[in-house]
Amino acid sequence: MNCPACDSDRVFRSKARSARDHVAKRLLPISFYRCHACGWRKARFHRMTVKGATLHTLSLAGYIGGVGLVLGVIAGVVVLTLTFLGVPMPWSR
């Protein structure tokens, strides 16, 4: 793999540095890479090939966490919208 910034071949795997990196690595099938020549750093998706087909890997925990996050955001938006429109909530009687 060559660095897209400086075209050096000194690109190696890098550790997750921030909390955001750790969360992303836990939820998504990614690895971090760093160029030792220019300092470029980026995340790339893992790819697995099975008989020529490309598949993304995703853990069950990551999938459940992602689904839970999406459902929580949708529920929050619905509650805020209904509250803004003045619709009484069933639990606030």
Helix H or strand E encompassing 11? strand 11-14
Q: What proportion of the chain, given as a percentage, has pLDDT over 90? A: 24
CB burial class (10 A; 0-12, 13-18, 19+) of residue 38?
middle
* In the chain, domain spans: 1-58, 59-93
56: Cβ contacts below 8 Å, ≥ 6 apart: 29, 45, 46, 47, 48
State the number of CA atoms in the 13 A half-sphere of 3 facing the CB: 18
Whether the per-residue pLDDT at 79 is higher than 60: the answer is yes
Confidence band for 43, pLDDT divided at 50, 70 and 90: confident
Q: What is the pTM of this model?
A: 0.48
